[in-house]
Amino acid sequence: MTLQSVVKQGGPGTLDCSFAPPDLSSVFSLQPVVEAAPGQALFWEGDDARYVFQVEDGLLRSLRLLADGRRVIVGFLHPGDLLGVSQKDRYLYTVEAITEVRLRRYPRRRFEDEVARQPHLRAQLFSKLCDEMTAAQDQAVLLSRRSADEKVANFLLLMARDSEGERTAFIDLPMTRLDIADYLNMTIETVSRTITKFASKGIIIAPDRRSIIVLKWHLLQSIADGDDTDFALAPMDGKMQRAGLAR
């Protein structure tokens, strides 16, 4: 029996020479690791775009500083996200670590050559860029909301999605209230007051400043959709209020 026939027949105990083409994560897995501490900038807006990064662990924020000194957070970056992929020669945003982060760093020109050489990587990169566009659209929807209640409710629903797009009742919020405020174009006082109000109505519990537990999805969704009739009528529960106040 020839090697060719063994490979063709397959089955237990035979030699399987098939292999899956590398995906973006496996391509990045061979690159050096970069670590950053909370508050540390990975790169600054306007820096030469020398590298592309993939987040392995932790949370980061991308932001821009306006001419008057105000900060605008344009997005939050999670494990699996790519940074620095652009047709521009300079980074469009400043990216800072919110938590301890680990990333893989790929020289940009080499990364572009690798993607150009392998069509399946181009398809995966296109999918990642589409995800970034969707995130930008999500923020545009958030900013278009009329009231603070609608903005915060939509933000919590957005953060409640896990990596598979499913909702999870426990929402991890490593970012500060100021980060949330700068993302939603609100004041930190309004963000804190709105979260406290949601807790007082028994919609959520905020056991600490870094987490939220959603108790009443239908009310949160109703507020996000701009229909706050049920929310306005929801009774206050003193015990729940004490347990759920955002500290």
Identify the structural domains of the chain with CATH numbers, from first to last: 22-143 (2.60.120.10), 146-244 (1.10.10.10)
Amino acid in the structure at residue 227: D
Low-confidence ranges of the chain (pLDDT < 50): 1-19, 238-247
Task: Determine the pLDDT at residue 167.
Answer: 77
Task: Determine the pLDDT at residue 15.
Answer: 41
Give the span between the Cα atoms of 51 and 83, in whole angstroms. Answer: 9
Sign of CA dihedral 202, 204, 205, 208: negative
Query: What would the two tokens of residue 84 be?
Result: 């620095």
Give the 3-state DSSP-derived string for the chain, with helices as H, strands as E and coil as C.
Answer: CCHHHHHHHCCCCCCCCCCCCCCHHHHHCCCCEEEECCCCEEECCCCECCEEEEEEECCEEEEEECCCCCEEEEEEECCCCEECCCCCCECCCEEEECCCEEEEEEEHHHHHHHHHHCHHHHHHHHHHHHHHHHHHHHHHHHHHCCCHHHHHHHHHHHHCECCCCCECCEEECCCCHHHHHHHHCCCHHHHHHHHHHHHHCCCEEEEECCEEEECCHHHHHHHHCCCCHHHHHCCCCHHHHHHHCCC
Query: What would the two tokens of residue 98 be?
Result: 């919110």
Task: Determine the pLDDT at residue 232.
Answer: 60
Give the span between the Cα atoms of 83 and 103, in whole angstroms. Answer: 10
Give the span between the Cα atoms of 198 and 240, in whole angstroms. Answer: 11
CB atoms within 10 A of CB 56: 17
Non-local CB neighbours of 60 within 8 Å, separated by 6+ positions = 36, 42, 76, 77, 83, 95, 96, 97, 98, 101
